[in-house]
Chains A and B, each alone.
Chain A
Amino acid sequence: MQDSVDAKIDETTLRRKWRAEYVDAFLAQVGVVKNSLGPSTRKCLDDWARQVQLVEAQPSANWGNAILNLCRAVESELSSMGKISGLDFMKSKQALGSKAQSLKRFKPDPSVKQAVTNRGIKPGFVFSSLADLLSKLADVRAKTDSAHGGLEIGTATKKDAEEARQLGGKILVGIVSRGPGT
């Protein structure tokens, strides 16, 4: 009985360890310090890794939920940026594509750029590259079923998930706060 309990603890521990390592490897690869992410983003990344853990090496799998959870991590970090006055739309319930459009239309005044800089984020990235990256990620999400709860659209492949991973990494490294003055 005790052996069985120990075996279960070990399996759960191993599964969590695998996920932590998977997320750490991703963050190290893209150059994001884990502690600079909000708790909600970290939870979303763990959920993402949990989905990957489920579908990795499973040719019949739909990778939609993995993509969805990575998008949620990006959304969570975007909403943190939405605390900056003028960038409130970043924390709205809008879809990623709509946020990208809002950002594209947004004309930042110097105070907004300064507030972004104060969070250790490069305004050049936020107001030139971010909208395109968000649009691309929204496209990956929309062309699979991950934006629709698996109801109507086609399914997501490992290749789609890899594309989302690359885009997500580029977005996160650009929007994660590095604290003031960096």
Chain B
Amino acid sequence: MRVLIVCTGNTCRSPMAGGLVRKIAGQAGAKVEVRTAGLAHHANTRVAEKAVAVMREIGIDISDEYSKPVTTDALEWADIIIPIQRNHGAHLLEDDPALERKIRFLEYDVMDPYNGSFADYRERRDQLESLLSKLSLD
């Protein structure tokens, strides 16, 4: 199963979600490949340090992640696309309504923690873990 997780800058939420999906799938014995990307990415920029730090607290290393754009190639590659906010999914669907069969919306939007405190990042991490645990990746 190939999973693409999409947010805005691909600096915080989608990289954290990527690490969490790998962990959740690993615990379930499921085989997944995960990529992450941003609809308004920052070229040549590494993931936010606070995102790396709060993920490290739960034993997940995302320090190698960097901001990447959403590409046609990535959208085609994916079996499942997870937008972190409804707005992200709606934006993709406007470009290509056929993506509907791949997109899995989260129960609610996880807001952007960029430039926030460690507490903000932990809150978003925990929200993502809870939401992604409920998501069917079949």
Contact = CB atoms under 8 A, between A and B. Distances in A.
Contacts, number: 63
A120 B107 CA distance: 53
Contacts of A51: 40
B9 interface: yes
Interface of B: 7-9, 11-13, 38-45, 48, 69, 87-88, 90-91, 93-94, 112, 114-116
A55 to B, nearest CB: 5
Interface residues of A, number: 24
A36 to B, nearest CB: 27
Contact of A54 (B44, B48, B69, B91): B91
The DSSP consensus for interface residues of chain B is loop
Contacts of B93: 8, 12
A12 B87 CA distance: 11
Contacts of A11: 90
Instruction: Pick from A12, A54, A151 the residue with the most CB of B within 10 Å.
Output: A54
Contacts of B69: 150
A115 B80 CA distance: 56
B8 A58 contact: yes
A8 B97 CA distance: 10
B94 to A, nearest CB: 7
The 5 closest A-B pairs by CB, nearest first: A60-B9, A60-B114, A59-B114, A61-B40, A58-B8
Contact of A58 (B43, B44, B112): B112
Given A11-B90, A15-B94, A53-B87, A63 B43 contact: no
B40 A55 contact: yes
Instruction: Pick from B39, B43, B94, B115 the residue with the most CB of A within 10 Å.
Output: B43
